[in-house]
Structure 1
Amino acid sequence: MRDESQINLITWASLQNINVYINQNNILSDININLNYGENILILGPNGSGKSTFLKLLNRSIYPIKSDKSSLKLFNKENINIWDLRKKIGFLFKEMEQRVNNGVKLYDVISSGFSGTFNSRYTNILSEIQKNKIHNLINEWDLNDIVYKDFQSLSDGQKRRALLARALVYEPNILVLDEPFCNLDIKSNFILNQNLNKLINRSVNIIYVTHNLESILPKTNRVVLIKEGKILNDGSPCELINTKKLSDLFDISIKVIEHEGYWRMIPLNN
């Protein structure tokens, strides 16, 4: 487990004795964790382990069971205005792509970062400052050629870049990403990995979920292993991304290989 007493950390999220039930099913149990500035955090675990639910606690779309012993604070506040939260944290969740109706342009998707609604009606009332921010994001994420195409006609990689641009309209210091590399081909995966590392170099902190070890960001400096709704382990990549820990986590015999900050796994015969 991590020894946080040895380093000077500033916490932006504190979760103490958190339990989450959905449809009477216990999804997360006894979650105790602090998330700190300066950390790029990988959440790793099997399907159904509660990873996405954990991230949704941070965007306040899911709430824990309230008790005298529980506490969930974001930026030292138990109650935070959702718009204030969006200015501090950019979010990307898998289901966002399905929420965009046919006919909505990529530009409208990015501009919805300011309004929260995928609708061109709000695009028409953007301020000049907001338009400039969108223009800069379009350039940065190489979206110029497709900016007025229907969002649902785009490739998975293009959609992902558009939604990440949307998450950055308020220039947040923190990004929360649920499986950002899901369904991407090799080239799109590589480009997204590079772009996220550029953001890290600009002091953006990233907390993300991925199932693909090859998609782990080289600048990841903290790993949280979740299994059956509980935090199984919490430490550095060198401590936790290894053959023993991940074989136990996924209940399968694998060999984990690291090369210059990049990872892969190979199945082993039982």
Structure 2
Amino acid sequence: MQHPQLLDIRNATVFRDNKKVFDRFSLAVEQGQSTAIIGPNGAGKSTLLKLLTRELYPVVKEDSWVRILGQDRPVLWELREKIGLVSADLQQGFVPEVSGLGVVVSGLHNSIGLFHYQQVTEAQLEQGRTVLQELGVAELVNRPYRQMSTGQQRRCLLGRALIHRPDHLILDEPTSGLDLNATYHYLDVIRQLAQQGKTILLATHHIHEIPPEIQRVVFMTNGEIVADGAKEQLLTDARLSELFAMPLKVSFSQGFYQVLPARA
């Protein structure tokens, strides 16, 4: 039995803040096909992910659609049980007083904190404690969100994304703002999730964020896909230099790619 595609975008025209970002944009991602979306700031990476999370919608046209898991109009609550999200927008908008446990459990209520009108059960709290334990941050259970480091906040938000045990994860610039130790610790967690069979859709301009388990990369610039293929074919000096409009030198070690400015 063939599974529906995780994402099927066809001829989408999308506006964001009254600016046209996509004009007849198309992209398909299969379930299980972990993919990195790479491009400079302003390329349209975040807009693409917001289509997937239904924060943005395309202009309605006969030959255009955005299908998620085979559905043109997925039920948002069901969608959020199948697809987890971690993004900078989510991190910045979270209620600062909520505890680490509250951050994780809020994923069950699709909220940016826990509030008095929500009915939180002991079973849900136990779910949250389990996720924090699995992510190695059980000590954050009672710590207020505002007192956490950026890396600790990001780990709790990952727990929020995982509490439904989704098959797919969307990560928007996942290590942005993290120090070196937190970056590689976070990447270790992402690798484990990919090895467990979760589909990772990663949007980034940091090449070192791409774990070895992601084999497909898509290059975007100015709202268009300019290349799509295997890492070995695209993560090269010439291709990345062209994408970022500057001379770059690529190195490879232990499954990861690194990029530095090329010396004259």
TM (norm. structure 1) is: 0.92
Q: What are the superposed Cα offsets for residues 213-241 of structure 1, whole Å, 9 maximum, x if unpaired? A: 22211111110100000011111101111
Between the two proteins, the alignment pairs up a number of residues equal to: 263
Tell me the distance in 2 between the aligned counterparts of 1:269 and 1:260.
24
Q: 2:138 aligns with which of 141, 144, 151?
A: 144
Rounded to whole Å, the distance in 2 between the matches of 1:122 and 1:132 is 19
Other-structure match for 1:170: 164
Q: Which segment drifts farther, 78-87 or 19-28? A: 19-28
Contact 2:101 2:125 in 1 (8 A): no
Residues 111, 123 of structure 1: 8 Å contact kept: no
2:152 corresponds to 1:120: no
Q: Does 1:227 align with 2:221?
A: yes
Residue number among 53, 63, 72 corresponding to 1:78 in the alignment: 72
DSSP-derived class of the 1:43 partner: strand
| Residue identity opposite 1:179 in structure 2 | E
Cα distance in 2 between the residues matched to 1:129 and 1:35: 35
The offset of 1:40, in angstroms, is: 1.2
Task: Select the residue among 101, 107, 110 that pairs with 2:101.
Answer: 107
Amino acid in the other structure paired with 2:51 = L
1:38 aligns with 2:32: yes
- Give the Cα–Cα distance (whole angstroms) in 2 for the partners of residues 16 and 223 of structure 1: 19
CA distance in 1, matches of 2:116, 2:58: 33
Name stretches of at least 5 consecutive residues in structure 2 with no aligned partner: none
Q: Which residue of 2 aligns with 1:49?
A: 43
The 3-state SS of whatever aligns with 2:59 is coil
Q: Aligned pair in 2 of structure 1 residues 122, 135: CA closer, same or farther (>3 Å)?
A: farther
Match for 2:132: what amino acid?
A: I
Q: What are the superposed Cα offsets for residues 4-28 of structure 1, whole Å, 9 maximum, x if unpaired?
A: xxxx885221100011112331112
Question: Is 1:242 aligned to residue 247 of structure 2?
Answer: no
Between the aligned partners of 2:42 and 2:114, the Cα distance in structure 1 is 36
User: Which among 132, 155, 159 is matched to residue 161 of structure 1?
Assistant: 155
Percent identity, aligned pairs only?
Answer: 29
CA distance in 1, matches of 2:137, 2:245: 41
| Structure 2 residue matching 1:20: 3-state secondary structure | strand
CA displacement 1:22-53 (0-9 Å, x = unmatched): 23311122221111122111010010010000
Q: Aligned equivalents of 2:24 and 2:236: distance in 1? A: 25
Deviations 1:82-115 (A, max 9, x none): 1000011001111112212332212111111011
| Long gaps (5+) in structure 1 | 1-7
Q: Which amino acid aligns with 2:259?
A: M
Q: Give the partner amino acid of 2:14.
A: V
CA distance in 2, matches of 1:23, 1:14: 24
Query: Conserved in 2, the CA contact under 8 Å of 1:213 and 1:264?
Result: yes
Q: Which moved more, 1:114-123 or 1:148-157?
A: 114-123
